[in-house]
């Protein structure tokens, strides 16, 4: 169902005329902007451009009020790029290939840790679904309880179930890989990845508690009775029953000790209460501990430890582990677990603490526990101190506050647990990043050097930055220069060297960085700010538009908003700030100095206020112009008036997914679910959450349950979407068509009905029903669903109306704010030279789109320009190691006879998707040929 899977990104470009503010030696004219700017200008390496008020009046301009800190200049360190805290292999493809090779050849018991190494290496790509797959695979092959507990909690954290109203941390989602009870079971079944756990099954069997009769054994013959005295209390046991508890008791009661001839034994000094001793007697007969209160079971655990009653210890350990369900219990019981070496109890307590993340991060007792070096040693004694434990904790802490003391202490524990090379690289590098952020440059240098010595070349960029901050600019420059000379150059190398360069050489480095890696945002930001300093704000806006068009980030949006304020285009500034707050609701503007909501309030006084009807009209206009950022801003305004509207949150999530902002999209989905006012609506949003996190069958079940409660557009649409996510045969296609038709019969607005018509048209096309498809696309266009132009063009092309298809895509290009995907699609409907021009334009607008590179490489290969074809793909793989591009380059290498390179690329591709059949076949062929040659 091709139409349902297309994700298009479009931008809004608005540039406005500027009255250049006059230069001022104080950095600003009268008013707040100038005075604060002049005060800050004396701070080391932090300068701002002040805005002078209109010289014809004595009043302060609105722009000055809205820009109290001025605009950042090229001399400020506020726009500098941060050092990436993730692993960044210098030879990325080689590293991925090596990982795949080791995963294929290792023992199954080693796979869990290898998948976590894969997670660490792929973290820098920022693909949430890819990282979730790594975590699921690691959990799938986890053998010991500690690793299972840890990874189950990590998976829960990645799903952010803590944000779902009514869901407890110890609730089971129904998936065995995330089930808290299944995690406490030793052993594993690697084929259980898709299994459900048994938590949802109702257990109807009633366990009857056995009454404890103190003198039950008195009716037995005296030679079978032994009495234990505790003070003046007596507890009677069946001699052979207590002897069976352990070897020490057996030796005491039937060996050469004097107790074997006595009927009464004094246990007063053995530190056990009468109640607990009676519980031991009951256990000796029933082998049950679940009938006792936790305090008694704790005593049983201690008693079992002293007298080597292994079965009783295991039963007590397991029972106490099953009772831990909140943080306070966990912090108390884990101390008993340490003291009595109760492995399962410690694991259960850890599980509660971990499944409460991130909220438990703010509990001083929990953080004191985890950050302590003594705790790490105690955990290590029981096999519960691991690199993965502190890796997880430090990742959560990094999201909260990277410069906190907690962050430092957790990373110190991480470094203490690091044993393998990649673990030491990661621990040292992240410590370096944190110290750099904390301005502790000497320590930062130490850790970056340590990481580099272990083999993490990228840490040298951190070392150069730390030297630069200490005033050693030339030393930093020399270090980056040597990196560029020694290794195959990448964008980040030139970006880093640009910080230590001056004048034209600095700009040249930034341009080279953009050419090698167009996804780096700093070069665009620097060039934009430089243009502002030259009073060319129109050009500055155009420069920052370049990256916003294909990579949405809050820092670039914020910068563009300041530019719009400077030219008094307050509507565009408000749009960008609202988009920023949609991405990060708690975002602080001006590098942490100003609350985003406060700035919104200030801007709203400068723009025309919209009524609810105006908002809907604006939303339709933005949607029809394929202006996703504008649509986000409108929906944010609508939610300000009606915060409980779950369907608006859902719209936000759809837009954010189109803009490739997965985390923000999932947050909006969770909010939509939480604000649902009916059961059927909540089921739909839960279905989308499950679908987006890889649980297709569960998502389908939610859709079906929702339809049973109430027939709604969204429920039918969800079910159709899920079913279309496979190769459809004629029967399945008919069913999906039926579902979409049912959806269209239900009440909804034109925006969603346009999407349904578009998807229905795509199914008709795949089924060969072109006239019906054309009708769907035409109806969608009638209600301003502009993306339907693409489907209609496809219909014309399949009807051999190539010119009409081309013209249809031209209409989309003219209407859409960002038309990268439209240029790409139009290339299919024109001659080679025109196609090449369209694809070049698509790459210029969105260098992350992979089809243009693959097309150009295939054309070069057809022209027998093999080296150029490989170079075309290599250029893109350097900043986007994409499965399809790696597969194609591997195929090129195979045809050229370079089998080792073909194997390396195919292994790297399979590291990204181990089930990609075409790459599996290619890898097998290349391996057979290499084996045959050898």
Taking only the tens place, the pLDDT of each residue in 764-815 is 999 999 999 999 999 999 999 999 999 999 999 999 999 999 999 999 999 9
* Residue that wins the pLDDT comparison between 900 and 36: 900
Span 812-822, pLDDT tens digits = 999 998 889 99
pLDDT tier, 293 (very low <50, low <70, confident <90, very high otherwise): very high
> d(Cα 260, Cα 68) in Å, to the nearest integer?
89
pLDDT surpasses 90 at 735:
yes
* Residues 6 or more apart in contact with residue 86 via CB below 8 angstroms: 120, 123, 124
- What is the average pLDDT score of the chain? 87
Average pLDDT over residues 849-872: 96
Average of per-residue pLDDT across 878-897: 96
Task: Read off the pTM.
Answer: 0.88
Q: pLDDT tens digits, residue range 342-353?
A: 999 999 999 999
What is the arithmetic mean of pLDDT over 288-312?
A: 92
Predicted confidence at residue 27, as pLDDT, reads 35
- Per-residue pLDDT of 431-444, as tens digits, reads 999 999 999 999 99
Query: How far is it, in rounded angstroms, from Cα 213 to Cα 281?
Result: 10
Q: Which contacts qualify for 764-770: CB closer than 8 Å, 24 or more apart?
A: 764/737, 765/2, 765/3, 765/791, 765/794, 765/795, 765/798, 766/1, 766/2, 766/728, 766/733, 767/730, 767/733, 767/734, 767/737, 770/795, 770/798, 770/799
- Position 921 scores a pLDDT of 96
Q: Give whole-number Cα distances, 701 to 164, 316, 716, in Å.
A: 19, 39, 12
Predicted local confidence at residue 475, as pLDDT: 96
- CB-based burial, 630-659: b 16+ in 10 Å, e otherwise: bbbbbbbbbbeeeeebbbbbbbbbbbbbbb
Residue 591 reports pLDDT greater than 90: no
Alpha carbons 898 and 930: distance in angstroms, whole number: 10
Higher per-residue pLDDT: 38 or 371: 371
Q: What is the pLDDT of residue 48?
A: 36
State pLDDT tens for residues 529-584. 999 999 999 999 999 999 999 999 999 999 999 999 999 999 999 999 999 999 99
Mean pLDDT of 272-287: 90
114/130 Cα distance (integer angstroms): 15
* φ/ψ (deg, to 5) at 230: -125, 100
Among 28-37, 126-135, 230-239, which range has the highest average pLDDT? 126-135
Structure confidence by residue, pLDDT tens digits, 161-175:
878 888 888 888 778
Q: Is residue 206 classed exposed, middle or buried when 0-12, 13-18 and 19+ CB atoms within 10 A define those classes?
A: exposed
* Tens-place pLDDT, residues 83-97: 999 999 999 999 999
What per-residue confidence (pLDDT) applies to 259?
66
Q: Token match 């749009």: residue?
A: 575
């Amino acid at each position: 169902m091709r139409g349902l899977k297309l994700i298009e990104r479009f931008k809004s470009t608005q540039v406005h005329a500027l009255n250049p503010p006059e230069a001022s030696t104080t950095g600003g004219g009268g008013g707040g902007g100038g005075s604060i700017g002049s005060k800050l200008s004396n701070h080391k390496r932090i300068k701002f451009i002040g805005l002078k008020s209109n010289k014809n009046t004595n009043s302060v301009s609105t722009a000055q009020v809205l820009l109290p800190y001025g605009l950042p200049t090229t001399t400020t360190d506020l726009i500098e790029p941060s050092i990436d805290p993730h692993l960044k292999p210098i030879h990325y493809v080689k590293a991925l290939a090596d990982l795949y090779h080791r995963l294929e050849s290792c023992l199954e018991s080693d796979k869990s840790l290898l998948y976590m190494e894969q997670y660490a290496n792929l973290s820098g790509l920022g693909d949430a679904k890819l990282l979730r797959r790594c975590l699921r695979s690691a959990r799938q092959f986890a053998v010991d309880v500690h690793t299972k507990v840890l990874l189950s909690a990590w998976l829960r954290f990645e799903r952010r179930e803590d944000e779902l109203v009514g869901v407890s941390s110890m609730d089971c989602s129904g998936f065995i890989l995330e089930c808290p009870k299944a995690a406490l079971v030793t052993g594993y079944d690697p084929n259980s990845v898709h299994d459900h756990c048994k938590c949802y099954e109702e257990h109807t069997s009633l366990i009857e508690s056995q009454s404890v009769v103190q003198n039950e054994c008195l009716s037995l013959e005296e030679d079978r009775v032994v009495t234990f005295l505790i003070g003046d209390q007596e507890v009677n046991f069946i001699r052979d029953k207590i002897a069976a508890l352990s070897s020490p008791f057996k030796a005491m009661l039937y060996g050469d000790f004097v107790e074997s001839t006595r009927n009464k034994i004094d246990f007063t000094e053995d530190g056990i209460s009468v109640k607990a001793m009676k519980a031991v007697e009951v256990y000796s007969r029933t082998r049950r501990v679940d009938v006792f209160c936790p305090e008694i079971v704790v005593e049983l655990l201690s008693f079992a430890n002293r007298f080597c009653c292994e079965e009783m210890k295991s039963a007590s350990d397991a029972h106490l582990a099953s009772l831990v369900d909140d943080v306070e219990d966990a912090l108390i019981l884990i101390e008993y677990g340490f003291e009595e070496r109760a492995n399962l109890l410690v694991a259960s307590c850890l599980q509660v603490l971990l499944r409460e993340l991130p909220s438990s991060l703010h509990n001083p007792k929990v953080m004191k526990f985890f950050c302590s070096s003594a705790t790490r040693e105690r955990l290590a004694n029981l096999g519960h101190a691991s690199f993965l434990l502190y890796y997880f904790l430090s990742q959560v802490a990094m999201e909260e506050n990277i410069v906190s003391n907690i962050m430092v202490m957790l990373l110190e524990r991480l470094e203490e647990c690091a044993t393998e090379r990649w673990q030491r690289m990661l621990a040292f590098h992240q410590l370096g990043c944190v110290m750099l952020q904390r301005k502790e440059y000497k320590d930062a240098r130490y850790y970056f050097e340590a990481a580099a010595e272990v083999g993490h070349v990228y840490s040298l960029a951190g070392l150069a930055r730390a030297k630069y901050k200490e005033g050693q600019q030339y030393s930093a420059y020399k270090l980056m220069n040597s990196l560029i000379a020694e290794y195959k150059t990448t964008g980040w190398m030139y970006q880093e060297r640009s910080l230590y360069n001056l004048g034209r050489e600095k700009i040249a480095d930034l341009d080279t960085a953009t050419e090698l890696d167009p996804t780096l945002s700093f070069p665009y930001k620097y060039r934009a700010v430089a243009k502002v300093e030259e009073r060319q704000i129109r050009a500055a806006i155009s420069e920052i538009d370049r990256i916003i068009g294909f990579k949405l980030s809050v820092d670039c949006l914020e910068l563009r908003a300041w530019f719009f304020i400077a030219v008094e285009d307050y509507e565009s500034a408000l749009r960008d700030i609202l988009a920023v707050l949609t991405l990060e609701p708690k975002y602080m503007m001006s590098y942490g100095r100003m609350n985003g909501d406060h700035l919104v309030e200030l801007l709203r006084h400068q723009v025309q206020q919209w009524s609810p009807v105006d908002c809907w009209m604006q939303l339709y206009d933005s949607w029809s112009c394929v202006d996703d950022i504008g649509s986000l801003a409108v929906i944010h305004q609508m939610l300000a008036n009606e915060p409980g509207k779950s369907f608006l949150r859902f719209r936000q999530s759809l837009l954010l997914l189109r803009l490739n902002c997965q985390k923000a999209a999932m947050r909006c989905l969770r909010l939509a679910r939480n604000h649902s006012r009916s059961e059927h609506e909540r089921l739909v949003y839960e279905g989308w959450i499950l679908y987006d996190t890889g649980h297709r069958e569960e998502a389908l079940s939610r859709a079906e349950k929702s339809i049973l409660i109430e027939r709604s557009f969204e429920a039918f649409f969800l079910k159709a979407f899920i079913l279309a996510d496979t190769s459809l045969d004629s029967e399945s296609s008919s069913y999906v068509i039926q579902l979409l038709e049912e959806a269209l019969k239900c009440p909804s607005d034109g925006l969603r009905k346009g999407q349904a018509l578009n998807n229905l048209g795509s199914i008709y096309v795949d089924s060969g029903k072109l006239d019906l498809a054309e009708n769907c696309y035409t109806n969608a266009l009638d209600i301003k669903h502009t993306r339907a132009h693409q489907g209609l063009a496809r219909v014309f092309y399949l009807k051999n109306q190539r010119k009409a298809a081309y013209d249809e895509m031209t209409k989309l290009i003219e209407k859409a704010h960002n038309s990268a995907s439209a240029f790409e699609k139009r290339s299919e409907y024109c001659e080679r030279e025109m196609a090449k021009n369209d694809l070049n334009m698509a790459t210029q607008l969105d260098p992350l789109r992979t089809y243009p590179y693959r097309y150009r490489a295939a054309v070069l290969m057809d022209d027998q320009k093999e080296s150029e074809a490989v170079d075309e793909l290599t250029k893109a793989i350097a900043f986007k190691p994409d499965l399809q591009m790696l597969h194609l380059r591997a195929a090129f290498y195979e045809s050229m006879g370079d089998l080792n390179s073909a194997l390396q690329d195919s292994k790297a591709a399979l590291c990204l998707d181990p089930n990609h059949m075409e790459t599996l076949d290619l890898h097998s062929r290349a391996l057979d040929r290499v084996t045959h040659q050898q």
